[in-house]
Structure 1
């Protein structure tokens, strides 16, 4: 039986562990110290179709990543695993200019030809909203898409790890390569290694002589808790800017997230920034004032210098695979990237052209 190590238990690592564990001839071990993981601090919106980024490879990854959730949910349900981390609740997109809404509407109609998951599209007036949504404020019109989903990152990763057959070891580790080409992690020998450690990838590869184009970005969000459990009836709300309002079933609403590029790996809560997001959110969702408690989360995202994610085999390290640079779209693309890495390892057909996301431009072996 071959032994495979996965370093990192975030969205990529946990999904990789799940799909690796489906192979009966593999023994999977996951290493993670739990500090700063982006997925634990992520309340995600699966809604890539309205992005105007010009990077076609990125959009294809995000589009197919959204589609892949249907496969992931189906696979877990076939294993009798609950999939309440994923809910297609729809989205309200808000723009300051009506013309911007019209442009997005036309863009989404074209993209729906490739992505029927977008579902129903409509431009709506606030005055015509159903009675149970009448307390939404701060806009006159909105663009609605029924296929958008909300994902609770921490629940997703816990679900995937529990569904896998992997051994979970909670510690910080390093990767060592012996003179005979064997891979050692935490004094254990492995046949293959998956590096799913996000912004910490440079720290893993630098001792082996690699330079990695990855920088950390701090992200904070705030969760609000309500005695009224009907919060799950609301769609996700996406105003312009950094703010997203993500209601979940059971009386929780998440507000965020910040994008802080100069804080490194700092995990301290900055209430000043979260208070500013709260004030902005209250203009659209005054119900925040009724929350009986609130809490904060913070994590570290990974970005490349050109904001493009990468995944694949590490140069000159056979059977060592890495993924990073997912940024704020990690929950959308993470499961698909993990599946792609597993397919590469197993020499099976890929859903994406691997060369378009190759690590070779981001991971360089020193002379």
Structure 2
């Protein structure tokens, strides 16, 4: 039986654990210290089709990642698990200039040809919008797409880990290479490793003479609880700027998340940042003032020098696979990235071309100055 270890139980690690568990003669062990997961501070939006990023490889991954959720949800449901953490609620985009809405509408129509998941596309007036979604403010027109989804990331990862049946060991770990080409973590040995530890990847690879350009990005988010609003009836709201407003079906509305590149691995909540997010959201969703309770979350994302994600086999470490640099699109591209690495662990050719997301672009050998 092939023994596979996964370091990191976020969206990538939990998805990999689930799909490896569906393979024959594979036993999975997951190691995770439970701190700082990016998934805990993820905004929970699956809607990549309106991105204007020029990185074609990233968009391909994101587009396929959105589509992959249909398979992921179908597989979990087939295995008897609840999947109500995923909901195609639709999305409303608000821009500071109306001509930008027209441009995004035309872009989405073109992209819909290869991504029918986008669903219905409409430009709605203020009157049409509030007739459907009373209480929204701060715009003249919006662009609506019915196929966008919201995801409760923490519930998704919890479901995936439960569905995998994998043993989960709490704690921060590293690994050693054995004389016979296997890998040791503590007293255990494994045939293959998946490093899904996000922004902590440099700390692990440094011990093996590799310096990977991955940095931590702090993300903070506000959660508002209501007992009188049918929050599940609202779509995701994406105003112009950094914040997003995500109404979930359990009386919760989330606002965030921040993108802080200068805080390192600090997980301290910053009330100033959280208050600023609320100030930016209130003009669009004034009901936030009526919340009966408010909570806060924080997590650490991983980003690279050019903000490109990567995955694949680590040079010089056969059968060790790593992924990182997913940034704020982790919930969108995390599952499909994990699925590609499962194919690689099992000796299959992944659907995405690894050379487009090569780790080597972000690696250099550590020079021993001694």
- TM (normalized to structure 1)? 0.98
Q: Quote the Cα distance in structure 2 between the aligned partners of 1:364 and 1:101.
A: 42
CA deviation after TM superposition for structure 1 residue 113, in Å: 0.4
CA deviation after TM superposition for structure 1 residue 229, in Å: 4.9
CA contact (8 A) 2:105 2:143 kept: yes
CA deviation after TM superposition for structure 1 residue 349, in Å: 3.6
CA contact (8 A) 2:182 2:192 kept: no
Match of residue 204 from structure 1: 204
Q: Quote the Cα distance in structure 1 between the aligned partners of 2:324 and 2:356.
A: 14
Match of residue 186 from structure 2: 186
Deviations 1:218-267 (A, max 9, x none): 00001000012510000000001111000001100000010000000000
Q: Report which stretch shifted further, 346-355 or 247-256.
A: 346-355
The answer to whether residue 23 in structure 2 is matched with residue 27 in structure 1 is: no
Match of residue 287 from structure 1: 287
CA deviation after TM superposition for structure 1 residue 206, in Å: 0.3
Q: SS of the residue aligned with 1:80? A: coil
CA deviation after TM superposition for structure 1 residue 132, in Å: 5.4
Q: Quote the Cα distance in structure 2 between the aligned partners of 1:135 and 1:366.
A: 56
CA contact (8 A) 2:206 2:366 kept: no
Q: Report which stretch shifted further, 122-131 or 158-167.
A: 122-131
Match of residue 85 from structure 2: 85
Q: Quote the Cα distance in structure 1 between the aligned partners of 2:24 and 2:280.
A: 51
Q: SS of the residue aligned with 2:65? A: helix
How do residues 328-343 of structure 1 correspond to structure 2 at under 5 angstroms? 328-343=328-343
Give the length in aligned residue pairs.
367
Q: Quote the Cα distance in structure 2 between the aligned partners of 1:115 and 1:78.
A: 24
CA deviation after TM superposition for structure 1 residue 182, in Å: 2.3
Deviations 1:283-335 (A, max 9, x none): 00010011011100000000110100000000011110000000000000000
Q: Quote the Cα distance in structure 2 between the aligned partners of 1:328 and 1:252.
A: 21
How do residues 1-367 of structure 1 correspond to structure 2 at under 5 angstroms? 1-129=1-129, 131=131, 133-366=133-366
CA deviation after TM superposition for structure 1 residue 133, in Å: 1.3
CA contact (8 A) 2:129 2:142 kept: no
CA contact (8 A) 1:11 1:334 kept: yes
Q: SS of the residue aligned with 1:263? A: coil
Q: Quote the Cα distance in structure 2 between the aligned partners of 1:190 and 1:229.
A: 50
Q: SS of the residue aligned with 1:311? A: strand
CA deviation after TM superposition for structure 1 residue 364, in Å: 3.0
Root mean square deviation of aligned Cα: 1.1
CA contact (8 A) 1:314 1:363 kept: no
Q: Quote the Cα distance in structure 1 between the aligned partners of 2:149 and 2:104.
A: 18
Q: Quote the Cα distance in structure 2 between the aligned partners of 1:328 and 1:268.
A: 19
Q: Quote the Cα distance in structure 2 between the aligned partners of 1:247 and 1:305.
A: 32
CA deviation after TM superposition for structure 1 residue 211, in Å: 0.6
Long gaps (5+) in structure 2: none
Long gaps (5+) in structure 1: none
CA contact (8 A) 2:41 2:257 kept: no
- TM (normalized to structure 2)? 0.97
Deviations 1:60-83 (A, max 9, x none): 000000000001011111101111
Q: Quote the Cα distance in structure 2 between the aligned partners of 1:305 and 1:108.
A: 28
Q: Quote the Cα distance in structure 2 between the aligned partners of 1:166 and 1:363.
A: 31
Q: Quote the Cα distance in structure 2 between the aligned partners of 1:199 and 1:236.
A: 27
Q: Quote the Cα distance in structure 2 between the aligned partners of 1:134 and 1:230.
A: 11
